[in-house]
A and B are shown apart, each in its own frame.
Chain A
Amino acid sequence: MRNLFHTPFCAVFRNEVLLNSKRVAPYAMALLCAGNGLLWWGWGPATGHGWAVNADFFIAGVLPVYSFLTLPLFTAAFMADPVNRDFRTGVDPLIFSKPISRGEYLLGKFLGNFFVLACCQSAFVLTWFVLQAVPKQGLITQDWKVFPYIKHFLVFVVISHLGLAAFYFAVGVLLAMPSSYTVWVLVFIRSTSLIRQSY
């Protein structure tokens, strides 16, 4: 059987992680997410309502808001550009003259960047996870928990953003970069106006 780690897909995946590790954006995003987590923890609705900050329902309630109000812009920034970047840089003829199929290349690009995106997004829940150990006046903390963070992060952030990431990635591949942002902005404006109307 073919070793997954010995495939062009894996080479592209790992190279994307390496390339992102040398960019400022992922670190900035992780910091913003961690800061966001800090605000939701100490100055969020839990303080006013007397909810426990590590309660399952609180995590499940906050994560969708975090996921869909703040993250789509980052998802667009991360996922729409990787393929275009290769073509802009001019590295594409060097890649495609090697034995790699377009499918392997695109999958490696997509999953490599999505992995980095998910790692950055996880700064939010990691901050919450660590802050369980920090006492704060007026804040209730239940016994130490692990599973709710993983479960809700996977469901509300990773899985829900996979579809969104695939959309941005496809738009980014098919259209030039500015156009994909335009599409995103239009989708964002339309969806927020629909949400407002529904209330």
Chain B
Amino acid sequence: MLRINKLTKTYSNRIQALREVSLNIEPGMFGLLGPNGAGKTTLMKIVATLLDPDSGTIEMDGVDLVLRKDKAREMLGYLPQEFGLYPTLTAEQTLNYFAKLKGVWDAKERYSLVEALLERVNLSSARKQRVGGFSGGMRQRLGIAQALIGEPQLIIVDEPTAGLDPEERVRFHNLLSESAGEDTVVILSTHIVSDVSNLCSQLAVIRKGEIIATCTPQSAIDKLKDSVWQAAVPREHISALKARYQVISVQMAGGLARLRVISKGERPGEEFTPTEPALEDYYFDLVSKSDEALSSRR
């Protein structure tokens, strides 16, 4: 189990990226949701030992990850949001290098590990190909392969599907869910709600450096049961509805606006029909409530 306790981080430009963040994460896939600039990457970097917090602790199976960085890195697999690879090395040479850094010294063991990883991420046929010629999806798969070296107990993937085409995204989702073993904690940090709803058994929402919710995707959806409505209305009605109800999404189709609205206990209008809530509804509802709370605090 990963325990994050009262983690705080303020950058030198006085931007407070994290404010007393506390999380208890059980083995399995954990989704960290939040808009851009919410503090997700800062939190991931701190857990990945690449950044020091101002205060707070992170503990994994009795090991303090802030103080024992060497030990932490042995149990860690990290795929950052933005990363590069040596363009002139082949996929095989790249994994070989990272396997050595991870402490896999036996040449035969390393060879079979690299082969197995390339097979797992579907890059076997590209093993002798230079990484510089890889597509975005191939690079991302090689990235997750290096994160899986040494059977890490903690895998952190930061915005892994941004920029991937739908096919690569599904392939990447499958890879991630296969990687989450019984004793492995996989943290998926993203702003794409569907990634979390497809993959994660637990989630937390972070907003302006604060955790504003922790739950399971199902319990989040259950909270909005019988509260989500949809309708196709003329464009002119949108502003009036926005003033009265919480509008989750607006999509223009055939001259009408398809609205998704949250309204607890009250039907917003005759044209509205109840619909099944989705995790996205919960997320948008939560984020807008958090914005309202923040603006009323000011």
Cα A19 to Cα B93 with chains together (Å):
10
Give the size range of B's interface with the partner. Answer: 20 to 34
Q: Which of A3, A5, A90 contacts B83 (CB 8 A)?
A: A90
- Given A23-B88, A99-B73, do A93 and B105 touch, yes or no (CB 8 Å)? no
Q: Tell whether, in the assembled complex, residue A97 and residue B76 are in contact, meaning their CB atoms are under 8 Å apart.
A: yes
Give CA–CA (A136, B97) in the complex, Å. 48
**Does the CB pair B48–A94 fall under 8 Å?**
no
- Which residue from A8, A19, A23 sits with its C-beta under 8 Å from B101? A8
Pairwise interchain contact B105-A99, C-beta atoms closer than 8 A: no
Contact present for A91 and B73 (CB under 8 Å): no
How far does the alpha carbon of A15 sit from the alpha carbon of B74 in the complex, in Å? Answer: 20
Interchain CB contact under 8 A, A99 and B103: yes
Give the docked Cα–Cα distance between A18 and B130 (Å). 13
Residues of B39-90 whose CB lies within 8 A of A? 45, 48-50, 70, 73-74, 76-78, 80, 82-89
Contact A22-B100, Cβ < 8 Å, known A94-B80, A97-B73, A99-B70: no
Interface flags for A94-115 (1: CB within 8 Å of B; 0: not) read 1111111100000000000000
A2-20 with Cβ < 8 A to chain B = 3, 5-6, 8, 10-12, 14-15, 18-19
Given contacts A93-B48, A98-B102, whether A19 and B85 have CB atoms under 8 Å apart is no
B80 interface neighbour in A3, A89, A93, Cβ under 8 Å: A93
- With contacts A91-B84, A96-B50, A97-B50 taken as known, whether A18 is within 8 angstroms of B89 at the C-beta atoms is yes
A-B contact pairs, 7 of them (CB 8 A): A11-B101, A22-B89, A91-B85, A91-B86, A93-B45, A94-B146, A97-B50
